[in-house]
């Protein structure tokens, strides 16, 4: 499957003709960038995807990771992808130069996300989590935490997960019960269970940095008593020692199948050490810094899926010969189905979703960049993003389904099989 | 999974309070029926489903039939189901008493379809095809064909398939190329390939009766040159002799997974005998008699899926405890999610789809019964059905997706896994 599942011209149009994103480079923070560097990172995202994740898509979608004897083995293509993506500097791209980052505008980062996710949104979960968790540690961590974790995550030497949901609490985070007991040395003992932890276990890296929401003993009830902890899978001082984080179950999702969704137990043997990240009882507020990025990421995933579906169905419609043109003699030869008005209608609906959806998503990321270059208008853009973030998440996700559904219709009976594309 | 995925009270309300279906029994054809006999067949459909198809649902959905060495093995529960369903007289129920049928109104038959499909729509494909193909043979067949095939199909001693779609033609039936060459003994040699043939091969019965659209050599181009043939898998005079119908591929559909969707080759060794059913070049018109029933069946399948999803999500919502009631003290105990307004909204949407959709579907079948009891208004009801059949097909199918989607949302993260329900 050596095809391209997005249109570069469309990205360039939104970035340069609509948003005039190069204007950002007048700001000191972005001063080392230009259209040329933006082009380079987009080329890089394309190259890594085409070399590693796109060729692995079908195989990794058909063969989901399994939990065997407490260990999870993921697709070999995922090992290659995370390494290549990190080596290309893509995980670190938006970080400060002091962390080895490129200080890339979020708008451009988001465009590379679109490129990578259109090829394989499930693989991108791993690198996105590394980026998001690093960002949390870089923002709220102490000096020691920043130095220990951030470089390792940005280089994908280790990877990470975010652990919010619990079996009894679902999305009601106020009801989580995972416990953190203070120890005399300033660390905490963590105990509890988390479910649906994407990338919560795998065999790619020798350690996994879990960011875990838990309650410090005696904390207030509800959301005001939740703190955020760094909980490594293995002890950071000696990776051969387990930190008592065990994989006790794996969920089989109906999509994004290459990413294991784990059921994790922390401290089943009362031996799980956690490190407070940021301030006690501020866990949810801190986590939502990352969650807002993740919510935009969900919308972008939807648009990337819409894009993959559109490019697949467009290709099929241009190749598949069936039926006569309505406006020609019915004894004429059959034509490719792209010539039929109803097929064109479906393809155009997909195209509108992809182009409009991408423009909307990039606009949101552009507002984040505006906060940096235009700090006097921070509260204006913050308010705008507060309004638009849930809209972008839902619009992208729901429209992704619509586009995939239309693409399925374009492929006819073949569309309803697991055998295409 | 010993639960019921439909509400009998709802069926009874539509049949008796809305449609007053017992009025049909005043007609001579239905005179042996009454509310009591209607109740009996509905009870029977329920009993067979609960004993055979419902318990096999999860396992048969997870383990799709495979094509091995040219043979297809289907789930063992499907063997038990087709036998039990036929033994209960359900396949034959709408047939004339001369065929051993019960002359059951189509409206009641449709209600039993709903009961059976809510338990397992994929298993029901086999018995529905036996009913539909028997109906075609009973209507257009000669005496010999009626005597040979109809009793065997109604008793599920043999089963059947309908073979329309070809690889190059898709849904453009005017472009089909399967060939029928007249032989001196009045039979035809059939050669060509068909795809997406539901129940096109299996190990349930010693023979499979394929109804195949093909062109007699020299027939006019387009739809006016298509004839319908009976093509048994094995020779009817000696079942140990193959009739040169070979399974050359199997598609893996994303739903209805217990039903194999076959790629069949007819006459690969120039040794496939077909028997003309009805008149030459009238194949499509004849087939559409069955297709109209099948189109209503698609709508009913959608509503049955909507019903299964609704009853599953309702059960989950009544058991799952999460979150506080909005109108109570937030320190009160958490409640079952059915108490949350947004969950109720989703459940009510599902309920409206199920009840409204079922009423609409049964209304269509009721019009078919009206043609029999009210023959002077035949053209009125025919026209009404011509209008409503495609609407019912699409409405049921599309609304089925909406209900399943809402049900998935009610189940939260669990809904997006293959592990629930």
Chain A CB contacts of B253 under 8 Å are: 416-418
Beta strands, E only, A93-168: 159-163
Chain B CB contacts of A417 under 8 Å are: 251-254, 261
Cβ–Cβ below 8 Å for B172 and A322:
yes
Cβ–Cβ below 8 Å for A221 and B331:
yes
Question: Taken in order A97, A100, A102, A103, is the CA torsion positive or negative?
Answer: negative
DSSP-derived letter for residue A219 is P
Chain B CB contacts of A416 under 8 Å are: 253-255
Provide the mean pLDDT of chain A.
95
Give which of B272, B288, B34, B352 is closest to B140, Cα–Cα: B288
What is the reported pLDDT for A403? 96
Percentage of the residues of chain B whose pLDDT score is greater than 70? 99
A-B CB pairs within 8 A amount to 69
By Cβ distance, the residue of B172, B322, B417 closest to A170 is B322
Give which of A399, A402, A419, A407 is closest to A316, Cα–Cα: A407
Confidence of residue A417 (pLDDT cuts 50, 70, 90): confident
Mean pLDDT on B21-40: 97
A328-369 pLDDT, tens digit per residue, is 877 788 899 999 999 999 999 999 999 999 999 999 999 999
Output the six-digit token pair for B379: 């053209």
Which of the residue ranges A275-289, A321-335, B17-31 would you say has the lowest mean pLDDT? A321-335
Q: How far is CA A313 from CA A58, A359, A403, B33, B416, in A?
A: 16, 21, 10, 52, 25
Chain B CB contacts of A421 under 8 Å are: none
B278 and B141 Cβ atoms separated by less than 8 Å: yes
Output the six-digit token pair for B392: 């019912």
By Cβ distance, the residue of B171, B254, B413 closest to A412 is B171
Q: How far apart are CA B401 and CA B308, in angstroms?
A: 12
Chain B CB contacts of A330 under 8 Å are: 222
Cβ–Cβ below 8 Å for A417 and B171:
no
Cβ–Cβ below 8 Å for B175 and A222:
no
A289-303 pLDDT, tens digit per residue, is 888 888 999 999 999
Q: What is the CATH number assigned to the segment(s) A8-154?
A: 1.10.540.10
By Cβ distance, the residue of A170, A175, A222 closest to B413 is A170
What is the reported pLDDT for B1? 46
What is the reported pLDDT for B419? 76
Neighbours of A376 (CB within 10 A): 6
Q: How far apart are CA B384 and CA B349, in angstroms?
A: 28
Provide the mean pLDDT of chain B.
95
Mean pLDDT on A74-100: 96
Cβ–Cβ below 8 Å for A417 and B251:
yes
Mean pLDDT on A126-147: 96
Cβ–Cβ below 8 Å for A417 and B261:
yes
A124 and A117 Cβ atoms separated by less than 8 Å: yes
Output the six-digit token pair for A86: 């990190």
Q: In chain A, which residue's Cα lies nearest the Cα of B419?
A: A252
Cβ–Cβ below 8 Å for B417 and A170:
no
The residues of B whose Cβ lies within 8 A of any Cβ of A are 165, 168-172, 175, 195-196, 221-222, 251-255, 261, 320-323, 330-331, 334, 412-413, 416-419
Q: Name the minimum distance, in Å, from the CA of A419 to any CA of chain B.
A: 6
The pLDDT of residue A219 is above 70: yes
Query: ipTM of this model?
Result: 0.85
DSSP-derived letter for residue A190 is E
Strand pairing report for B208-216 and B188-198: unpaired
Residue with structure tokens 């505006």?
A: A370
What is the reported pLDDT for A1? 46
What is the reported pLDDT for A239? 96
Mean pLDDT on B153-161: 97
Cβ–Cβ below 8 Å for B195 and A261:
no
What is the reported pLDDT for B293? 87
Report angle CA B395, B400, B404 to the nearest 5 degrees.
155
Confidence of residue B2 (pLDDT cuts 50, 70, 90): low
Cβ–Cβ below 8 Å for B261 and A221:
no
By Cβ distance, the residue of A172, A253, A419 closest to B251 is A419
Mean pLDDT on A113-128: 97
Q: How far apart are CA A10 and CA B138, in angstroms?
A: 59
Mean pLDDT on A133-162: 97
In a mutational test of the A interface, the residue from B417, B420, B421 whose CB has the highest number of chain A CBs within 10 Å is B417
Give which of A294, A275, A286, A271 is closest to A392, Cα–Cα: A294
> Domain B159-282 belongs to what topology?
Butyryl-CoA Dehydrogenase, subunit A; domain 2 (2.40.110)
Confidence of residue A418 (pLDDT cuts 50, 70, 90): confident
Mean pLDDT on B233-250: 97
Cβ–Cβ below 8 Å for A170 and B251:
no
What is the reported pLDDT for B174? 84
Q: How far apart are CA A324 and CA A330, in angstroms?
A: 6
Cβ–Cβ below 8 Å for B417 and A321:
no
DSSP-derived letter for residue A173 is G
A250 and A66 Cβ atoms separated by less than 8 Å: yes
The residues of A whose Cβ lies within 8 A of any Cβ of B are 165, 168-172, 175, 195-196, 221-222, 251-255, 261, 320-323, 330-331, 334, 412-413, 416-419
Percentage of the residues of chain A whose pLDDT score is greater than 90? 88
Q: Using DSSP, state whether B239 is helix, strand or coil.
A: coil
Q: What are phi and psi of A198, to 5 degrees?
A: -65, 135
Convert B250-272 into a string of H (helix), E (strand) and C (coil): EECECCCCCCCEEEEEECCCCCC
Q: What is the CATH number assigned to the segment(s) A159-283?
A: 2.40.110.20
Alpha helices for A326-377 (secondary structure H): 341-373
Confidence of residue B172 (pLDDT cuts 50, 70, 90): confident
Mean pLDDT on A74-97: 96
Chain A CB contacts of B413 under 8 Å are: 165, 170-171, 195-196, 251
Q: In chain B, which residue's Cα lies nearest the Cα of A221?
A: B331
Report angle CA B19, B22, B27 to the nearest 5 degrees.
115
Residue with structure tokens 């509400």?
A: B7
A117 and A57 Cβ atoms separated by less than 8 Å: no
Cβ–Cβ below 8 Å for A255 and B170:
no
Cβ–Cβ below 8 Å for B322 and A418:
no
Mean pLDDT on B160-183: 90
**Tally of CA atoms within 13 A in the half-sphere of A374 that contains its CB:** 14
Mean pLDDT on B49-75: 94
Chain B CB contacts of A252 under 8 Å are: 417-419
Output the six-digit token pair for A199: 């990338």
What is the reported pLDDT for A2? 61
Output the six-digit token pair for B307: 């019903």
Mean pLDDT on B346-369: 98
Cβ–Cβ below 8 Å for A334 and B172:
yes
Cβ–Cβ below 8 Å for A252 and B221:
no
B267 and B181 Cβ atoms separated by less than 8 Å: no
| Domain boundaries along the sequence of chain B | 8-154, 159-282, 285-416
What is the reported pLDDT for A291? 83
Q: What are phi and psi of B281, to 5 degrees?
A: 65, 10
Q: In chain A, which residue's Cα lies nearest the Cα of B172?
A: A323
Q: How far apart are CA A113 and CA A300, in angstroms?
A: 8
Residue with the bigger pLDDT between B293 and B351: it is: B351
Give which of B18, B81, B6, B9 is closest to B39, Cα–Cα: B9
Mean pLDDT on A274-278: 97
DSSP-derived letter for residue A166 is B
**Tally of CA atoms within 13 A in the half-sphere of A240 that contains its CB:** 0
Q: How far apart are CA A38 and CA A161, in angstroms?
A: 28
Query: Hey, which residues does B173 pair with through a beta bridge?
Result: none
The region that residue B325 occupies, defined by phi over 0 for left and psi between -120 and 50 for alpha, beta otherwise, is beta
Strand pairing report for A208-216 and A226-232: antiparallel
The domain B285-416 having CATH identifier 1.20.140.10: the answer here is yes
Mean pLDDT on A121-127: 96
In a mutational test of the A interface, the residue from B164, B169, B251, B317 whose CB has the highest number of chain A CBs within 10 Å is B251
Q: How far apart are CA A212 and CA A233, in angstroms?
A: 12
Give Cβ neighbours of residue A226 (< 8 Å, ≥ 6 apart).
Answer: A173, A174, A176, A213, A214, A215, A219, A281, A283, A284
Residue with the bigger pLDDT between A168 and B121: it is: B121
Q: Name the minimum distance, in Å, from the CA of B251 to any CA of chain A.
A: 6
What is the reported pLDDT for A329? 78
A257-275 pLDDT, tens digit per residue, is 999 999 999 999 999 999 9
What is the reported pLDDT for A331? 78
């Amino acid at each position: 499957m050596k095809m391209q599942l997005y249109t570069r011209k469309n990205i360039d149009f939104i970035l340069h003709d609509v948003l005039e994103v190069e204007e950002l480079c007048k700001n000191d923070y972005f001063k080392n960038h230009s259209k040329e560097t933006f082009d380079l990172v987009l080329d890089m995202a394309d190259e890594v995807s085409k070399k590693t994740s796109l060729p692995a898509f079908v195989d990794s979608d058909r063969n989901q990771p399994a939990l065997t004897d407490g260990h999870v083995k993921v697709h070999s293509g995922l090992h290659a992808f995370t390494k290549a993506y990190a080596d290309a500097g893509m995980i670190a791209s938006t970080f400060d130069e002091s962390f080895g980052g490129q200080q890339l505008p979020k708008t451009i980062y988001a465009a590379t996300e679109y490129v990578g996710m259109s090829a394989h949104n499930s693989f991108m979960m791993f690198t996105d989590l590394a980026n998001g968790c690093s960002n949390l540690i870089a923002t709220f961590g102490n000096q020691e935490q920043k130095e220990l974790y951030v470089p390792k995550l940005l280089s994908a030497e280790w990877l990470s997960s975010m652990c919010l949901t619990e079996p009894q609490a679902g999305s009601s985070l106020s009801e989580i019960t995972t416990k953190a007991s203070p120890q005399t040395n300033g660390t905490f003992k963590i105990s509890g269970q988390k479910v649906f932890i994407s990338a919560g276990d795998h065999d790619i890296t020798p350690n996994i940095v879990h960011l875990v929401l838990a309650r410090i003993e005696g904390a207030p009830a509800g959301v005001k008593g939740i703190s955020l902890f760094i909980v490594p899978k293995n002890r950071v001082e000696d990776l051969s020692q387990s930190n008592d984080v065990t994989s006790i179950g794996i969920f089989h999702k109906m999509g994004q199948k290459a990413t294991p969704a784990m059921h994790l137990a922390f401290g089943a043997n009362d031996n799980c050490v956690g490190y407070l990240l940021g301030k006690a009882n501020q866990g949810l507020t801190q986590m939502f810094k990352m969650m807002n990025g993740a919510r935009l990421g969900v919308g972008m995933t939807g648009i990337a899926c819409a894009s993959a579906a559109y490019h697949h169905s467009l290709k099929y419609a241009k190749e598949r010969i069936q039926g006569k043109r309505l406006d020609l003699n019915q004894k004429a030869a059959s034509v490719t189905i792209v010539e039929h008005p109803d097929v064109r209608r479906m393809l155009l609906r997909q195209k509108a979703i992809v182009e409009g959806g991408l423009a909307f998503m990039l606009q949101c990321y552009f507002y984040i960049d505006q906060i940096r270059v235009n700090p006097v208008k921070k509260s204006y853009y913050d308010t705008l993003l507060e309004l638009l973030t849930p809209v972008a998440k839902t619009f992208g996700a729901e429209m992704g389904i619509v586009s995939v559904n239309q693409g399925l219709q374009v492929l006819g009976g073949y569309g309803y099989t697991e055998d295409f594309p």
